[in-house]
Amino acid sequence: MPTLTLPAPAKLNLFLHINGRRPDGYHNLQTLFQLLDYGDELSFTVTGNGNDIEFSCSDPALGGGDNLVVRAAKLLQQAANRPVAAKIHLTKRLPAGGGIGGGSSDAATTLLALNHLWGLHLAQTELLLIARQLGADVPVFVYGQSAFAEGVGEQLQAVDLADNWYVVLAPACHVSTAEIFSHKGLTRDTPVIKVAASLQHGTQNDCQALVRELYPPVKSALNWLGQFGPAKLTGTGACVFLAVSNEQEAQRILGQKPDALGGFIARGVNQSPVLSMLAKQIATGV
């Protein structure tokens, strides 16, 4: 059986406004998702082993059955009316729990790849519903375009964003999304704005002040990157980022980072590389 290899791109939240708490405990938010050309990589091979999902990961700490990749594959199995099995390998490059959507993107790539390889022919709307069950950040990666998002992140509107490069720094700490959203100090009453206004004025991340105060490594990273321009937190962190106009500038800043910080540079993209690569693979018969 041929192996299909696809990327799982990272995202940044160029801003993140929290508009209020919902009866289900989640929060309504407005955010601008910028997809990046940098991420994890997954390879998929269909096997004939009943309903077996054989999973391995380059990071042993993420190799268990609770990985979002395995959960995505199992949810998709429920939509097939016959046994479907696969062997999946995940090469992890994105720091887990960094606010750059690595786990969510891995799950979305899994849905897109296995929908094709298992011949399920589920429409994008059906895949988006499955994606939402896996997490608030999974739908945008199935949607495959940089987007303005509302609700918990599932109401998506594609946007055409400026062609920027980003320096992304990863402080040595994990921020729990659930902890930040349940903290009494979180700003959760930002007024709702319209898409057009958000593109001009929506600049802050409502989680940033709280995460900065609770996590000293995030504060140091923001201070260090802030020398070069308006550094911001993505999602609930811990990663921070800065937009710059070209690759050389991004590389120059990354090259000076303190050793305590992980990091990478990436180009912002409007279209996810997953959809175009999948289309190419389908055209070549994989």
Instruction: Name the site residues for ligand ADP (rule: CB under 6 A).
Output: 62, 67-69, 90, 96-104, 106, 137, 177, 235
103 marked among binding-site residues: yes
Binding at 202: pick from ligand SUD, ligand ADP, none (beta carbon under 5-8 Å per type): none
Catalytic residue among 11, 40, 106, 232: 11
- Token pair, residue 152, equals 């918990």
Cα gap 37→200, rounded to integer Å: 24
Compute how many other C-beta atoms are within 10 angstroms of the C-beta atom of residue 68.
Answer: 20
> 99: alpha, beta or left, given left = phi > 0 and alpha = psi -120 to 50?
left
85-91 vs 232-233, strand pairing mode? unpaired
Q: What letter would DSSP give residue 25?
A: S
97 annotated ligand-binding residue: yes
Torsion angle of alpha carbons 75, 70, 41, 6, nearest 10°? -30
Q: Measured between alpha carbons, how far is 18 from 29 in angstroms, rounded to an integer?
A: 4
Among 9, 139, 144, 153, binds ligand SUD (CB under 6 A): 153
Complex with ligand SUD: residue 7 or 235, whichever CB lies closer: 235
Residue 279 annotated as lining a ligand binding site: no
* Cβ neighbours of residue 183 closer than 8 Å, sequence gap 6 or more: 210, 214
11 catalytic? Reply is: yes
Q: Residue 27, interface with ligand SUD (CB under 6 A)?
A: yes
Please indicate whether residue 137 is annotated as part of the active site: yes
CB 153 → ligand SUD: shortest distance, Å?
5
Given the residues 40, 92, 106, 137, the one annotated as active site: 137
Residue 232 tokens, joined:
């911001």
Instruction: By CB under 6 A, tell whether 150 contacts ligand SUD.
Output: no
- Smaller CB distance to ligand ADP: residue 132 or 252? 132
Q: Residue 96 annotated as binding?
A: yes
Strand partners, 29: 18
Per CB under 6 A, the segment of 69-77, 96-104, 197-205, 277-285 that binds ligand SUD is 96-104
Binding footprint of ligand SUD on the chain (CB under 6 A): 13, 16, 25-27, 29, 31, 99, 101, 104, 135-137, 152-153, 177-178, 181, 235-236
